[in-house]
Amino acid sequence: MKALYSWLQDFVTVSAPPDELASRLALSGTNIGGVENGPQGAVFDAEVTSNRPDCLSHYGIAREVGAIYKLALKQILPKPAESAAKIADAIKVEIRSPELCGRFTARVIRGVKIQPSPAWLKNRLEACGVASINNVVDISNYVMLELGHPLHTFDYDKIRDHSIVVRGANSRASGGNNADGERIKTLDGVERQLDPGTCVICDGDGSRIVGIGGIMGGAETEISFSTKNVLIECAWFDPIAIRRATRSLKLHTEASTRFARGADPEMAELASRRCAELILQLAGGELLAGVVDVYPAKHAPKKIQVTRAELLRVMGADVPDKEIESILGALGFAPVRVDENRGAAGSILAAWECTQPSWRAEVSREIDLIEEIVRIYGLDKFPPRLPASRQGAARLPHYEAEMRLRERLIGLGYREVVTIPHVAEERDALFRPADVVPASLANPLSEEAGILRSTGTVTMIGALEWNLNHGQRNARLFEIGHHYRLNGSKPVETRVLTLGATGAARDKNLYEPARDYSFADLKGDLDNLGALAGGLRWQEAATEYLNAARRGALFLKAEPLGVAGQLSRRVAERLKFRQDVYLAEINLGPFYCSYYGVKNSRRYQPIPRFPAVERDFSLMLSDGTHFSDVVKAISSLNIPDVASVEAADLFRGKNIPAGKYSLLIKITLQPRSATLTDAQINEVSARIMSTLEKELGAQLRTA
């Protein structure tokens, strides 16, 4: 809301420079986004919070200024001259839906001259960002900006039977062929269909709609330059009904904003009188005597108590009696001291009974009054202190496991990414297991962001894609985040680790040649991570988006953990990737669980006192015989001294028959009780060789 400094001065004799006033307003709750100097003087851009409809007016802001500077607020007492003719004979008003419209006032002025507004009126409106139309319409806008209460003016002669009916819109248009609801053409020339229950202003017998209550008037009855007689509507509409209606109509106006936040029902008659006064002044005519005022929502003002004890309990520091009384008084709460210690200044038992002003419907509790007191008194007057803690603080249960995981990933050269989980359904489907139901959005911003990712992989692909498309060929990325799935109608969020890597594992440098990232890098890195949780088990996998020759499923003991491998050619081509991409995704729940289990059961292994012996065996094996078969065959011998079996070299080709490959294994023998003799070593070697020959058909290859 734009507020003119000079307009505020109509109501309060403030003299502080505009910048200082802006700062004081901001620090008391009316934030000022900026101060501009225009032909009308300083203009404040007041950012009024949604709980303060009263401050969507100059009078309301002036009240704040009065409270801040302890200045009196001028009263508004319009006294327009009235003719002998009575209003009651000129217009009838019936409210059929009091739950939608709590008050409706009507005044009529005859014989007005519609013409352009005088300069002072135009200037003030324009400084506030409102375009000038004609004197009568401008006056209704002016009064709204001044007093905060929206008004509507009708061409009186176009109101059938000089009768107004306020009701809820019907679900079917009466008599017409619009089977699905009533319609009206509003002032802006748009034909609008109304939801049943929308508050409408009708004329005659109530069948013709002439305005959407509190939102916008109708085109058929609007003021034109030929208008002679004016009907002033100043009403009060239920905030929730207005919000419902604006939401369904997708129509927000200055009037609807004020009614939606809660206008002041008591102000309706006063604003109407002020409007009449200005019309007489600027457009002439005669005002019919009195007002038609239908006011079903009238109620006695609410009483609210505020006590010093509660103020101290919430705020932790005191405010003097005088300040409390002056602030609440200036804001219209009429505080009266009601405790037994009346007169004892600063009493801990002090209590004030306040009267809720009609323009502050949202102030209804003691805490609300406390806020009123302290925001004007100054929040900076409450000394900050750091409260003592009464209990230990706990990290997230998986904090340590995740920290160790992240630390290891970083050591392995992976950079963390954070992705937005909204993806295209089609993209998600590329990576989604067949039995998974994704979580779709009911109201996505676009198809491209229509569902939440059902795997971590789908957005990891996006991150790799971004980098490849922006000339970054080498990327080694990880993300720790959730994927989202539906289990029936229940959403399930699962924490996963996703890896994505492409390009060089090592760039060419002065000392070493370049090397591309390969499946072995991915496997080694995952095993390095898996060591934190007791070691991974790898198995063949059938994951479709991964290359059938280079993929695996990961397990922790029997628990499935995830998959890893090279992106399949089919998907890579579809995504237009021109280089190999490696992916892995693992479920972190079981991983973290296992991390703590392994950590807590870890025990020291004494360092062996006797030297270990290594023996190499160069084996010729059939394709399809796995390294794990070799390890299994050796471990089946249960030789206690065999500490490890490692694959040291592997080759095919020259000197190796087709269908065979050569594998060099390195066996480490670690004796426990004495240094091994040559005879013992030879005996073990012979047993191992004979088993491998027998079990796997391995041939010992001599170099």
Residues 384-403 that bind another protein (CB under 8 A): 384-387, 389-396, 399
Residue from 73, 228, 338, 484 touching another protein (CB under 8 A): that is 484
Site for another protein in 403-422 (CB under 8 A): 406, 409-422
Please, which residue, 248 or 662, has the CB nearer to another protein? 248
Q: How far is CA 47 from CA 9, 316, 602, in A?
A: 20, 29, 61
As a whole number of Å, the end-to-end CA separation of the chain is: 90
**Two tokens, residue 75:** 């009263």
Please, which residue, 391 or 600, has the CB nearer to another protein? 391
Q: How far is CA 659 from CA 22, 605, 621, 689, 703, in A?
A: 86, 42, 9, 21, 20
Distance CA 634, CA 646 (A): 12
- Shortest distance in whole angstroms from residue 45 CB to another protein: 11
- Beta strands at 415-416 and 475-487: parallel, antiparallel or unpaired: parallel
Please, which residue, 71 or 486, has the CB nearer to another protein? 486
**Site membership for another protein, residue 29 (CB under 8 A):** yes
* Per rule CB under 8 A, count of chain residues that contact another protein: 92
- Shortest distance in whole angstroms from residue 249 CB to another protein: 14
- Shortest distance in whole angstroms from residue 502 CB to another protein: 11
- Shortest distance in whole angstroms from residue 450 CB to another protein: 9
- Beta strands at 82-86 and 286-289: parallel, antiparallel or unpaired: parallel
- Tokens 């409007």 — which residue? 275
Binding-residue pattern over the window 211 to 240 for another protein, x denoting contact by CB under 8 A: -----------------------------x
- Residue pair 65/25 in contact by the 8 Å Cβ criterion: yes
Residue from 24, 149, 375, 483 touching another protein (CB under 8 A): that is 375
Closest C-alpha to 291, from 78, 103, 87: 87
DSSP letters along 154-216, please?
EEGGGSGGGEEEEEEPPSS-SSSS-TT--EEEBTTS-EEE--TT-EEEEETTTTEEEEETTTE
- Shortest distance in whole angstroms from residue 416 CB to another protein: 4
Residue from 183, 318, 382, 696 touching another protein (CB under 8 A): that is 382
Site for another protein in 615-674 (CB under 8 A): none
DSSP letters along 656-671, please?
S-TTEEEEEEEEEE--
Please, which residue, 485 or 660, has the CB nearer to another protein? 485
- Residue pair 67/327 in contact by the 8 Å Cβ criterion: yes
Please, which residue, 474 or 662, has the CB nearer to another protein? 474
**Site membership for another protein, residue 313 (CB under 8 A):** yes
- Residue pair 291/168 in contact by the 8 Å Cβ criterion: no
- Shortest distance in whole angstroms from residue 115 CB to another protein: 38
- Shortest distance in whole angstroms from residue 252 CB to another protein: 9
- Shortest distance in whole angstroms from residue 449 CB to another protein: 8
Site for another protein in 257-286 (CB under 8 A): 260-261
Closest C-alpha to 54, from 322, 333, 335: 333
- Shortest distance in whole angstroms from residue 595 CB to another protein: 18
Please, which residue, 367 or 637, has the CB nearer to another protein? 367
Give the CB-side neighbour count of residue 214, counting CA atoms within 13 A.
Answer: 36
Residue type, 437: V
Residue from 7, 11, 28, 278 touching another protein (CB under 8 A): that is 28
Please, which residue, 490 or 602, has the CB nearer to another protein? 490
Give the CB-side neighbour count of residue 658, counting CA atoms within 13 A.
Answer: 0
Please, which residue, 123 or 305, has the CB nearer to another protein? 305
**Site membership for another protein, residue 190 (CB under 8 A):** no
Using the rule CB under 8 A, give the single segment among 313-321, 534-542, 554-562, 680-688 that binds another protein.
Answer: 313-321
- Residue pair 501/477 in contact by the 8 Å Cβ criterion: yes
Using the rule CB under 8 A, give the single segment among 45-53, 129-137, 210-218, 629-637 that binds another protein.
Answer: 45-53
- Beta strands at 82-86 and 41-47: parallel, antiparallel or unpaired: unpaired
Distance CA 360, CA 331 (A): 9
- Residue pair 370/305 in contact by the 8 Å Cβ criterion: no
Rounded to the nearest angstrom, the gap between the alpha carbon of residue 561 and the centroid of all alpha carbons in its chain is 32
**Two tokens, residue 98:** 């009091």
Long-range contacts of 50-55 (CB under 8 A, 24+ apart): 50/261, 51/261, 51/362, 52/261, 53/148, 53/258, 53/261, 53/262, 53/263, 53/264, 53/359, 54/148, 54/264, 54/359, 54/360, 55/1, 55/30, 55/148
Please, which residue, 191 or 512, has the CB nearer to another protein? 512
- Residue pair 346/320 in contact by the 8 Å Cβ criterion: yes
Residue from 175, 191, 250, 380 touching another protein (CB under 8 A): that is 380
Binding-residue pattern over the window 352 to 371 for another protein, x denoting contact by CB under 8 A: -------------x-xx-xx
Please, which residue, 266 or 368, has the CB nearer to another protein? 368
- Residue pair 144/53 in contact by the 8 Å Cβ criterion: no
- Shortest distance in whole angstroms from residue 457 CB to another protein: 14
Residue from 328, 475, 619, 676 touching another protein (CB under 8 A): that is 475
Please, which residue, 189 or 471, has the CB nearer to another protein? 471
Please, which residue, 406 or 615, has the CB nearer to another protein? 406
Site for another protein in 237-256 (CB under 8 A): 240, 243-244, 247
- Shortest distance in whole angstroms from residue 27 CB to another protein: 6
Please, which residue, 49 or 224, has the CB nearer to another protein? 49
DSSP bridge pairs for 181 = none
- Shortest distance in whole angstroms from residue 332 CB to another protein: 17
DSSP bridge pairs for 586 = 497, 562
- Shortest distance in whole angstroms from residue 390 CB to another protein: 5
Distance CA 53, CA 40 (A): 24
- Shortest distance in whole angstroms from residue 607 CB to another protein: 28
Site for another protein in 51-80 (CB under 8 A): 51-52
- Residue pair 476/585 in contact by the 8 Å Cβ criterion: no
**Two tokens, residue 436:** 């998974």
- Shortest distance in whole angstroms from residue 246 CB to another protein: 9
- Beta strands at 613-622 and 660-669: parallel, antiparallel or unpaired: antiparallel
Binding-residue pattern over the window 535 to 574 for another protein, x denoting contact by CB under 8 A: ----------------------------------------
Residue from 163, 474, 662, 670 touching another protein (CB under 8 A): that is 474
Site for another protein in 434-463 (CB under 8 A): 439-445, 449, 452, 463
Cβ contacts of residue 690 below 8 Å, gap of 6+? Answer: none
**Two tokens, residue 495:** 């924490």
- Shortest distance in whole angstroms from residue 550 CB to another protein: 21
Classified as helix, coil or strand, 343 is coil
Distance CA 269, CA 218 (A): 22
- Tokens 């200037």 — which residue? 123
- Residue pair 228/210 in contact by the 8 Å Cβ criterion: no
Site for another protein in 506-525 (CB under 8 A): 506, 509-512
Rounded to the nearest angstrom, the gap between the alpha carbon of residue 559 and the centroid of all alpha carbons in its chain is 37
Please, which residue, 45 or 544, has the CB nearer to another protein? 45
- Shortest distance in whole angstroms from residue 180 CB to another protein: 19
Residue type, 569: R
